[in-house]
Structure 1
Amino acid sequence: MKIPPYPHPVIAREGWLILIGAVIVVVLVSAWSAWASIPFWIFALFALQFFRDPAREAPEGQGLVLCPADGRIVCVEDAADPYAGGRQALKISVFMNVFNVHSNRVPVDGAVQSIEYFPGKFFNAALDKASLENERNAMVLETTDGQTVTAVQVAGLVAKRILCHARIGQSLYAGQRYGFIRFGSRVDVYLPPGSRPRVAIGDKVKATSTVLAELPVRSRDNDSTP
């Protein structure tokens, strides 16, 4: 039986301290001058919408790859997966602007094989070069039928903090909340060859509720003995 996902208290835990600080500043400045408090109200309202963390319903079906983030599809192409030995893969990338939900979700059921953090630059996350040159955190998963799926959190132009709560060896399930990226970013997903994309460049997508692709059906003929 699957354990419930991270409780969704409407506002992501990563934003609690920022919001509390913003409210305290607003109250203090408002007591001095209502006009002077306006910029602080604007920031507090921006932070409130940025750190929202809505619960999502995952579609049912075998071999579905769920979207790891809200945003827009900026890449659907064949590529080498640099985090899983350079094997060939289908790469799908989701770009998040500052108005999207930035809570990241696991794309497939699987066990965490590795987690690697890479320091880097802060190019616009919508650019292709951001995948390999920006600061990023890569999580490699192995599905129950032995397929490899990699999810990469990529920092953007103003993103300065990538948070990943998963651990090596941990079993995760599709749609489970596992991380957060602050202020504009991207998530790349590398899938096994033969995966069938269900999205196209320019599509608007939502974490968990949008299906990115379908994994290929693994043949077990070679596992049976005559």
Structure 2
Amino acid sequence: MKIHKEGRKILLFTFLGLLIVNLLIFRFNAPHETFNKIFVAISVILFLLLLQFFRSPFRNLITHEDLVIAPADGKVVVIEDVHEPEFFKDTRKQISIFMSPINVHITRNPVSGIVKYFKYHPGNYFVAWHPKSSTKNERTTVVVTSDAGPDILFRQIAGAMARRIVWYVTEGDEVNQGEEFGFIKFGSRVDIFVPVDTDIKVNLGEKTKGGQTVIAQLKTGGSFFG
């Protein structure tokens, strides 16, 4: 396991800040040894929590052109037919994955293909499971024309804690299934929109691993499951 590039500066500055504060406390608060030790313990716990948030574990990726792979670690919180107003302007099957602060926050391409559409939307910071978060929160929208044929839309959505979404794709890019397309800092959600006749392979409440969990199988292309 390694530390993701999005966290290296944050971790460095946090470490230096905590180190300086602890040194100052030991220098000017020497008589209160118990308090000093407690503050050191809190500092270590805080840094370790931040460290695990920015971890980037190795993944054996699953790839197949007619499969839609989970773009993130988390829990499936929505599976429903909805009207998608931004790009498709018709009914699609929505699958939403909620990412808690303890999940890996790397976001991965659910399919291989060409980026047909990309847009960043500034917005609010409702909690990620709020119904309005999909259309009102800070978010990105990516549409990929998959190698299997259908256009697949997926969104990074900021949560109440997240204040910055990072993305690595733009229109016209060729993307590979399972590779990173972005990162969301401190709690968030990813929505995926697929054709309504897509065979969904996950259930509500099921936990996912980005790049490994098969969340759906498209009706076109060869069958992975036989």
TM-score, normalising length: structure 2 = 0.87
The yes-or-no answer on 1:190 pairing with 2:193 is yes
Q: Which residue of 1 aligns with 2:154?
A: 151
Worse overlay, 180-189 or 34-43: 34-43
Unaligned 5+ runs, structure 1: 1-8, 220-226
Give per-residue Cα distances to partners, 1:154-212, cap 9 Å, x unaligned.
01011100111112111101101110011110000001231110011111111111011
Q: Which amino acid is 1:52 matched to?
A: R
Q: Which amino acid is 2:160 matched to?
A: L
Which of 68, 73, 78 aligns to 2:76? It is 73
RMSD value over aligned CA atoms? 1.8
Deviation, 1:127, is 2.2
1:128-143 matches, cutoff 5 A: 128-143=131-146
Aligned 8 A contact 1:161 1:181 in 2: yes
Q: Which residue of 2 aligns with 1:3?
A: none
What percent of counterpart residues are identical? Answer: 36
Q: Which amino acid is 2:2 matched to?
A: V
Q: Which residue of 1 aligns with 2:91?
A: 88
Q: Which amino acid is 2:189 matched to?
A: R
Q: Which residue of 2 aligns with 1:6?
A: none
SS at match of 1:37: helix
The yes-or-no answer on 1:170 pairing with 2:173 is yes
Give the whole-Å Cα distance in 1 for the aligned partners of 2:46 and 2:145: 41
Give the whole-Å Cα distance in 1 for the aligned partners of 2:13 and 2:192: 35
TM-score, normalising length: structure 1 = 0.87
Q: Which residue of 2 aligns with 1:22?
A: 14
For these two proteins, the number of residue pairs brought into alignment is 211
Deviation, 1:59, is 2.4
Worse overlay, 137-146 or 186-195: 137-146
1:91-102 matches, cutoff 5 A: 91-102=94-105
Unaligned 5+ runs, structure 2: 27-35
Q: 1:11 to 1:87 in 2, by over 3 A?
A: same
Deviation, 1:144, is 2.3
Give the whole-Å Cα distance in 1 for the aligned partners of 2:65 and 2:183: 27
Q: Which residue of 2 aligns with 1:10?
A: 2
Deviation, 1:218, is 6.2
Q: 1:200 to 1:132 in 2, by over 3 A?
A: same
Q: Which residue of 1 aligns with 2:116?
A: 113
Q: Which residue of 1 aligns with 2:125?
A: 122
Give per-residue Cα distances to partners, 1:122-145, cap 9 Å, x unaligned.
111012221112111111110124
Q: Which amino acid is 1:16 matched to?
A: R
